[in-house]
Structure 1
Amino acid sequence: MKNAKLSARSKRMSNFEGLHKHAGLNLVSLMDIFTILVFFLLVSSGSQQLPNSKDITLPASVADKVPKETLIISITASAILVQGKKVADTADLMQGDSAIISALEKELDFRTANRLYGEQDKSIGRAVTIMGDENIPYQLLRKILATCRQTNYTKIAFAAVQTAKNKG
């Protein structure tokens, strides 16, 4: 009888309140998702890894040092890449007789000017990691090293695949 005396709007409002009165947020499943997300981020950010490239076969090494986060120059059979951005063709560089690669020098200077990588103090050399195929010509590698030295990237590391040490 009580509902019969109410207007249509009052009935709708009481019905709405009845439906939404006990609504709550289930935090247990939300906490589970965030816990899994935190563990995933902790595990995945534990060590810095070099980018994987199918075009590059890295040489083997028994070094124990873990690579630091630095600027990465990749050398494939067809191109030179800085942080994945194509800078020059290797075929053109092998034809030229210049000791410095101008396109690479320009890209390294750009990254230095924008402070994307490297120290601000000019007396301290900047760090770079060279990821080169094990079969690249030494002439090309020499040009890349000269260009890195020219732009004050003097802390040069070479990427390699870690192999087990021989015990014997």
Structure 2
Amino acid sequence: MKQSFRAKRMLKQHKRLAQSSKLNLVALMDIFTILVFFLMVNQSDVVVLPSNKDMSLPQSVSEQLPREQVLLTVTANGVLIQGKAIWRGDWLQAPELWQKELSEAVQQELNYLAGRTAALTEEQQALGRPLTILADASTPYAVLRRLMAMCAGTEYRDISLAVEQRSKVLEATP
């Protein structure tokens, strides 16, 4: 019996669909190769610390990159730990007025943060927990020294000061 043109076409289509599909691995490997090289080239080790527009960090030739750790920010009118305002006041007033209140607030917040993390090992106990102080270049050194002493009074003794890295061009010119 003679098959119609439509029946022949349907039979051919069914045979073609019944075959297992083949995966073109060459194109897939090309895509993955390009993706791997793209990710390797665009991987960056730049760590950006959060800062205010009003704050200008001191410049330094430090090559050490910041790590992920507790951040204590000193502003013109207060102190923040991990972005949470813990004290507001004026640095220009007599130190006796703000030191006790600030000391209690800093120690309470740092002890709270230390309690939320794992206990220190023996090696870490010698160094203490890491902390970065982010302060404006115009912040008085006496204030920074007092804050570092407050932090050292808790488990946070591995203290780093955030600075802005000088460019190589500025270092070459006197």
TM-score range (shorter-chain normalised) is: 0.5 to 0.7
Q: Which amino acid in the other structure matches residue 81 of structure 2?
A: V
SS at match of 1:80: strand
Match for residue 147 of structure 1 among 108, 129, 150: 150
**Structure 1 residues without counterparts, runs of 5 or longer:** none
**Which SS does the other structure have where 1:145 is aligned?**
helix
Amino acid at match of 2:109: E
Aligned to 1:80: 79
Q: TM-score normalized by structure 2? A: 0.64
TM-fit CA distance, 1:165: 4.7
Once the two structures are superposed, the pairs formed by residues 122-133 of structure 1 within 5 Å of their partners are 122-133=125-136
Provide the alpha-carbon RMSD of the alignment: 3.8
Question: Which residue does 1:16 correspond to in 2?
Answer: 17
Give 1:58 shift.
0.9
CA distance in structure 2 between the partners assigned to 1:50 and 1:59 by the alignment: 15
Residue 101 of structure 1 aligns to a residue whose secondary structure is: helix
Q: Partners in 2 of 1:92 and 1:167 — Cα distance?
A: 38
- How many residues align? The count is 158
User: Which runs of no fewer than 5 residues in structure 2 stay unpaired?
Assistant: none
Task: Classify the secondary structure of the residue corresponding to 2:7.
Answer: coil
Counterpart-to-counterpart distance in 1, 2:31 and 2:172 = 50
1:16 & 1:138 partners in 2: Cα distance? 78
1:73-96 CA deviation, whole Å, 9 max, x = no partner?
A: 12223443333x223243278664
Distance 1:126-1:57 versus aligned 2 partners, 3 A rule? same
Of Structure 1 and Structure 2, which has the larger fraction of its residues in helix?
A: 2
Opposite residue 32 of structure 1, the aligned amino acid is: I
Q: Conserved in 1, the CA contact under 8 Å of 2:76 and 2:90?
A: no
Structure 2 distance, partners of 1:153, 1:52, is 20
* Matching residue within 25, 37, 40 for 2:39: 37
